[in-house]
Structure 1
């Protein structure tokens, strides 16, 4: 009985010591083993690990990709136009030993404060070297990559690796927006007026060319029409000459009928002539009547 009473407490103590010497490393984290504040082990692979009980302290750190969304900052680009920039960064703890040495027991809170300052400085340096038009343009990937690289270089001292930096918004300050919008509207109005002026100039050139072409076409058409009409008149006269030469009496009759037709038109035609006038030969002569029949 006495021996059993002694062995059971010893086993309990040994079990407690064994359990306190073991710890589990999760796949989502890295763990440091500290002995009197000094790093003695680094565990990055998931699984079961061991430490010296009562002397060693296990400190966990996240192995996930973390986000940092600092406050908006004012940036003055190369053209001296103030912009409000809102950015965020994605990072991870790459070197837990260096991270611990850099931030101490403050952990991610101290790291976030230091990273915010590094990100702030990188944004100001990169965006301060370009114009506001470059910053406000759609294609800003080059600028964001430059900010990421600068931030990553400085964050290595913290044991961090910067994966990405993005500019969420780049806006003008409220007090400058009205003036800027008015200037942009004036510039667009000037461009529109210039385009309209060039359009009117082009219209006038095209209209003048079209009018000149139309005049030339009409002149050519009239010339051709006169030529055709002259040829037709000549052909008609030739035919008439042949016909009238074959029968002179018929030619006289045709001329008289044409004269009657041209003279006696409408309801108010009045002619003062002697009844014996030659104009009425074919209205009163037997020959004329015979031919008319």
Structure 2
């Protein structure tokens, strides 16, 4: 009984020691085995690991990509327009030994504080560089600037055993006291551009109208000239025709002209005429040798 009483606690102690000497590392972790604060083993592959109970300790670190949001800072680009900027970064622990040596027992909290300082320093350096204006930061070149921040931060973070995977600027806003002045300046610039466009449009419209007026004047002048030429040619042809007709039969020509005169004089309401008895207007109606005498000729109407 006495042997059993002593044996059972010993077995329990042995089992507890055996269990405390085994640890498990899953695929999302990396582990360090420490002995009196010194690294004696690195467990980077998932599976079982072993340590000496009571003498050695195991520290595990996340092997996944982690996220870090930086605090808002103020930067001044080369055009002296201050901007409020904050960013976020994606990083991972690539060298657990160097990470442990760099941050000690502070772990991720200390690492993120130091990484935040690195990121803020690089943001100020890149966004405050020569030829980098606030318009550049807000344009399509923003991606190139973020890549520069990432690459420069990555170089410094290697000393912490970290790899900076990505850096993104979340917001780049103007300070509240500068917004009204900036909006007023932007409004004035847009109004000036609009006035310039309106002036250029009016100038172009004036040129178009002047060209159209000149074209109309030239067209009317050419048409009038052609009409005058046509009328002149027609009058010349008519005069030649009348002259030829007059030469061929003078009496018929006079008769024809008299008929035209009668037709034009006695149109519409103009049906009554007062003439002297010796008027030659109705010669072809009153002269018995040409058209026969009419009783109308006796009345003088």
Q: 2:281 aligns with which of 268, 279, 283?
A: 279
**Which range moves more in the overlay, 270-279 or 248-257?**
270-279
Asked whether the equivalents of residues 253 and 288 of structure 1 are also in contact (C-alpha less than 8 Å), the reply is: no
Q: In structure 1, what is the equivalent of residue 115 of structure 2?
A: 115
Query: CA RMSD of the aligned region, Å?
Result: 2.4
Hey, what's the Cα distance between the residues in 1 that align with 2:190 and 2:156?
A: 43
Instruction: Name the SS of the counterpart of 1:49 in structure 2.
Output: strand
Q: In structure 2, what is the equivalent of residue 48 of structure 1?
A: 48
Unaligned runs of 5+ in 1: none
Displacement of 1:32: 1.0
Q: In structure 1, what is the equivalent of residue 74 of structure 2?
A: 74
Q: In structure 2, what is the equivalent of residue 137 of structure 1?
A: 139
Q: In structure 2, what is the equivalent of residue 23 of structure 1?
A: 23
Hey, what's the Cα distance between the residues in 1 that align with 2:239 and 2:3?
A: 159
Q: 1:288 aligns with which of 275, 291, 298?
A: 291
**Which range moves more in the overlay, 242-251 or 252-261?**
242-251
Q: In structure 1, what is the equivalent of residue 296 of structure 2?
A: none
Unaligned runs of 5+ in 2: 294-301
In the comparison of the two structures, how many residue pairs are matched? Answer: 290
**TM-score, reference length from structure 2:** 0.87
Hey, what's the Cα distance between the residues in 2 that align with 1:101 and 1:289?
A: 147
Q: In structure 2, what is the equivalent of residue 34 of structure 1?
A: 34
Displacement of 1:2: 6.6
**Which range moves more in the overlay, 83-92 or 251-260?**
251-260
**TM-score, reference length from structure 1:** 0.89
Displacement of 1:227: 2.6
Hey, what's the Cα distance between the residues in 2 that align with 1:58 and 1:261?
A: 133
Q: 1:204 aligns with which of 186, 206, 218?
A: 206
**Which range moves more in the overlay, 94-103 or 130-139?**
130-139
Instruction: Name the SS of the counterpart of 1:81 in structure 2.
Output: coil
Displacement of 1:16: 2.5
Hey, what's the Cα distance between the residues in 1 that align with 2:14 and 2:243?
A: 149
Displacement of 1:219: 1.9
